[in-house]
Amino acid sequence: MTMDRSAFGKVAVLMGGASAEREVSLMSGGGVLAALRASGVDAHAFDPAQRALGELRSEGFARCFIALHGRFGEDGTVQGALELLGIPYTGSGVMASAIAIDKVMTKRVWNAEGLPTPRHVLLRRGRYDPSQVLAVPDTLGLPVIVKPAREGSSIGLAKVRAAAQMPDAVAQAAQLDADILCEQCIVGEEVTCPVIGTGDDARALPVIRIQAPDGNYDYQHKYFTNDTKYLVPCGLPAGEEEAIQALVLRAYRVLGCRGWGRVDVMIDGATRRPYLLEINTSPGMTSHSLVPMSARAAGLSYEALCVQLLSMAALDHPPAAPREKAAP
């Protein structure tokens, strides 16, 4: 991609933040910052947990690369602040970010659009009793996936194999979120598929098949070990990769996402039917992250990917051009 890097102006890479994924965000942001600087971009680190966002305007930043993960960075809050400041930013806008961070709201939209996603039961902290918790497996079967509705990186997630494990799993998730998502466990293959672009111009990158030890793709195996295998090309049967890419594009577009994202999918091992799990609107950009891996398989280097994403920075509501005064 050929473009004048100076046209980006002064760029803030937003990293760190106050969510439970702060550590991963710092790793993502560090990688993005180094890549943009190596590409000739005037990029600077900016941690919203340590500095007021208003400094972005007073210090003359022209656009932001959002490398924040989770709440206060991927949930529409920072996006809304940047809209008010009038500073274009990477990734989805306010509404799409707010919906996508909430796994239950995402499911509701996908269900309304007829897109396949595992069945679920929603429990709200302080509004359920022990009998309701123990009854979840009767509705969803076993095993059951229990997780906070608005956390990422598998933080707070538990795979429940016996009904007696439900109370502890729900209590763990409830420490992180008032909404606890109990989800049907789809047994089969786990894949993920990144998307780059907006609307009709959005395109799906190669699908990655994930093989974690004992099927346990948790926080540790995502970021801090080399035990997980990532297959790209994914090696799925003929036609399955294309079908998943088409499904992922629909899931991305109906939520109104823009810029980039990554959709996680489970393939039922018996029926080969894909099920949408969740969407990440500010995916990881660490050395273990999946979007750079998929992009590389499509011929796009890490540096080129960062520059392309930055080039798509935008506002939901860009300021209108000043109207010319009528001649007297």
Q: To 10 degrees, what angle do helices 77-85 and 94-101 make?
A: 170
What's the whole-number mean pLDDT along residues 116-144? 96
Same domain, 70 and 111: no
Same domain, 210 and 294: yes
**Cβ neighbours of 120 (radius 10 Å):** 20
Same domain, 233 and 306: yes
Q: Is residue 318 part of a domain?
A: no
Is 262 among the catalytic positions?
A: yes
What's the whole-number mean pLDDT along residues 134-148? 96
Last residue of a domain, one of 145, 167, 184: 184
Is 23 among the catalytic positions?
A: no
pLDDT of residue 20: 85
Q: Is residue 328 part of a domain?
A: no
Q: Is residue 322 part of a domain?
A: no
Spatial distance between the Cα atoms of 74 and 303, rounded to a whole number of angstroms: 22
> Exactly one of 17, 21, 22, 179 is catalytic; which is it?
21
pLDDT of residue 118 exceeding 50, the answer is: yes
The reply to whether omega before 233 is within 30° of 0 (cis) is yes
Q: Is residue 142 part of a domain?
A: yes
pLDDT of residue 319 exceeding 90, the answer is: no
> Exactly one of 97, 156, 183, 223 is catalytic; which is it?
223
Tell me if the pTM is above 0.85. Answer: yes
CATH number at residue 190: 3.30.470.20
Same domain, 162 and 236: no
> Exactly one of 74, 75, 179, 278 is catalytic; which is it?
278
Q: How far apart are the first and last CA of the chain?
A: 47
Is 97 among the catalytic positions?
A: no
Same domain, 236 and 108: yes
Same domain, 211 and 157: no
Q: Is residue 146 part of a domain?
A: yes
Spatial distance between the Cα atoms of 59 and 121, rounded to a whole number of angstroms: 47
The reply to whether omega before 143 is within 30° of 0 (cis) is yes
| pLDDT, tens digit (0-9, with 9 covering 90-100), for 227-273 | 889 999 999 988 999 999 999 999 999 999 999 999 999 999 999 99
Same domain, 143 and 216: no
Is 153 among the catalytic positions?
A: yes
pLDDT of residue 71 exceeding 50, the answer is: yes
Q: Is residue 321 part of a domain?
A: no
> Exactly one of 25, 28, 280, 294 is catalytic; which is it?
280
pLDDT of residue 1: 43
pLDDT of residue 84: 97
pLDDT of residue 315 exceeding 90, the answer is: yes
Same domain, 274 and 132: no
Token duo for residue 256? 């109104």
Is 280 among the catalytic positions?
A: yes
Is 223 among the catalytic positions?
A: yes
Q: In what order do the strands lie in the sheet with 11-14?
A: 43-46, 11-14, 63-66
Same domain, 159 and 196: no
Spatial distance between the Cα atoms of 321 and 248, rounded to a whole number of angstroms: 35
> Exactly one of 63, 150, 258, 262 is catalytic; which is it?
262
Same domain, 83 and 172: no
Spatial distance between the Cα atoms of 134 and 136, rounded to a whole number of angstroms: 6
What's the whole-number mean pLDDT along residues 127-149? 95
| pLDDT, tens digit (0-9, with 9 covering 90-100), for 180-234 | 999 999 999 999 999 999 999 999 999 999 998 766 555 554 555 578 899 999 9
pLDDT of residue 64 exceeding 90, the answer is: yes
Rounded mean pLDDT of the chain?
92
Same domain, 194 and 247: yes
The number of C-alpha atoms within 13 Å of 295 and in the hemisphere containing its C-beta is: 24
CA distances from 265 to 186, 219, 255, 291, 323 (A): 10, 17, 16, 14, 48
Q: Is residue 326 part of a domain?
A: no
Same domain, 249 and 110: yes
> Exactly one of 153, 282, 289, 294 is catalytic; which is it?
153
> Exactly one of 151, 179, 189, 264 is catalytic; which is it?
264
CATH number at residue 141: 3.30.1490.20
> Exactly one of 188, 197, 284, 302 is catalytic; which is it?
284
Total number of domains constituting the chain: 3
Q: Is residue 74 part of a domain?
A: yes
| pLDDT, tens digit (0-9, with 9 covering 90-100), for 86-99 | 999 999 999 999 99
For 124, the domain range is 120-184
